Amino acid sequence: MRLKRKCSTLIALLLILAGCVLRFAMPGHDYLGYLLWGVAVLVFLFPRLPHVGRAVLGVLVCAGLIVFTIFEIPVVRDAHTDTDAHPDTIVVLGAGVNGSTPSLSMCNRLDAALAYLNANPAATVIVSGGQGPGEDITEAKAMADYLTAHGIDSARIVQEDRSRTTRENLENSFAILRARGGDPADGVGIVTSEYHLYRAKRRALIPPASPPRLLCRPCASITSSARPSPPRTCSWPARSTERSPMEKVNVYDWDKTIFPVDSTVAFVRWCLRRHPGVIWPLLRALALLPGYWLGKISKTAVKERMYGFLRRVPDVDAELEAFWAKNFPRVNAWYLAQQRPDDIIISASPEFLVRIPAQKLGVRLLASRVDKHTGRTDGENCHGAEKVRRLHEAYPEVQIAEFYSDSRSDSPLAELAEHAYLVHGQERTPW
């Protein structure tokens, strides 16, 4: 019995910890956190109750599961509905802002809206959401800024910034649509999360008696049907007889290739030792890893969350200078022996971090664009096929003579090189 109690206590503590991660570190997953806390209480109490109490608890749990299933069926059903129609107007429902930064759930909705707007250039979007506790700006403003930053013309964006509930989101958005000469009855696309779609539909079907014909779209459905697939390969432009010969250069990865370790990890450790407070943003980033492993969260989103630690570093420039003053001598000797002035480094590490050693070496650099003060990422993480795209964009007239990397994920670049090598410490073996 004591062993059962000890095991139940340990399991309960783990569930409470997981619930805290979901509740406080992963915006949009609050209810899952609450659910885990409830399960933790049940796990803790069950072995400590008498037989009658266990029986009563078992009956209550079963009844709760039945009720939950009854109410969850329409939610799950509506979460997987979609339409092939293409409305002229879509409404993006707000989902919380952390200061002035869109929450993860809001970013997912906005990415779905971006895909639809890019696929339908004539469509307009109403971004709906007021300002709540802990929000420096309205949700509508945060969403509008996100869309314009990703290339959507501000003339296509209408802000509804007074609503506090889902009902108000839709009532106010429909009022704006009518004031602009539109009619919700002609069809409106609602962009929201899958779990929220049932609630949005119910709140939308309100007086007047002639409700709009809603085209409710869960984020996942829009993303899968409307987002153009990113190119996985990149072909070089054909060289005509009138064009000068292409420049042949050597291209290198940075981390664990020229530099013997992951420079981002090394810099994080450096900052942790000097500014212990950066641990909290890093823990929040760790909470995203399960979603990344399951394919629900992009690597770019995880890194952006991790780079949030930079907000807690008082003087980033001073730390960078001090870090590289100590670590630059660690550059691999084999690279220094064969370095050429026309070398190009292409790295997934942030540009602000690798720029200093690249300048010291006197070589060109392409890397992930990250704001060194806020951690915000501009564009995609410079990884895999994105490296090829960035190289082609920046230097369209180059051809890779030799390529060096420690990772098979750089195969898109290796395939373009005349000779490619895998790096393991001081050893280089043919790809």
pLDDT value of position 202: 52
Provide the residue ranges of all domains of the chain, joining segments of one domain with +. Answer: 2-79, 89-226, 247-430
Residue 224 to residues 190, 228, 247, 349, Cα–Cα distance (Å): 16, 9, 39, 29
| Contacts for 332 with CB less than 8 Å, ≥ 6 apart | 257, 258, 259, 260, 426
Between CA 349 and CA 251 the distance in angstroms is: 15
Structure tokens at 280: 């909290």
Q: Are 141 and 109 in contact (CB under 8 A)?
A: no
Same fold, 89-226 and 247-430: yes
Yes or no: say if 324 and 352 are a contact pair by the CB < 8 Å rule. no
Tokens of 195: 């779990």
Q: Where are the beta strands (DSSP E) in 79-174?
A: 89-93, 97-98, 101-102, 124-128, 157-160
Contact assessment for residue 61 and residue 41, using Cβ atoms and an 8 Å cutoff: no
The sign one gets for the Cα dihedral 308, 312, 314, 319 is negative
pLDDT at res. 285: 73
Blockwise average pLDDT, block size 10, the chain, 431 residues: 78 83 59 77 82 81 74 51 66 80 78 86 90 81 90 92 82 86 75 59 44 39 34 34 63 94 90 84 74 70 78 88 92 92 92 92 91 81 87 89 91 91 90 85
CATH level 3 topology of 89-226: Rossmann fold (3.40.50)
Taking the alpha carbons at both ends of the chain, their separation in whole angstroms is 58
pLDDT the model gives residue 101:
77
- The pTM (predicted TM-score) of the whole model is 0.45
Per residue in 305-327, pLDDT (tens digit) is 778 888 888 888 999 999 999 99
| CATH 3.40.50.1000 fits domain 247-430 | yes
Instruction: Single out the residue of 395, 380, 386, 381 nearest to residue 413, CA to CA.
Output: 386
Q: What is the bridge-based pairing of β-strands 157-160 and 124-128?
A: parallel
Our separate counts of H helices and E strands in the chain read 17, 14
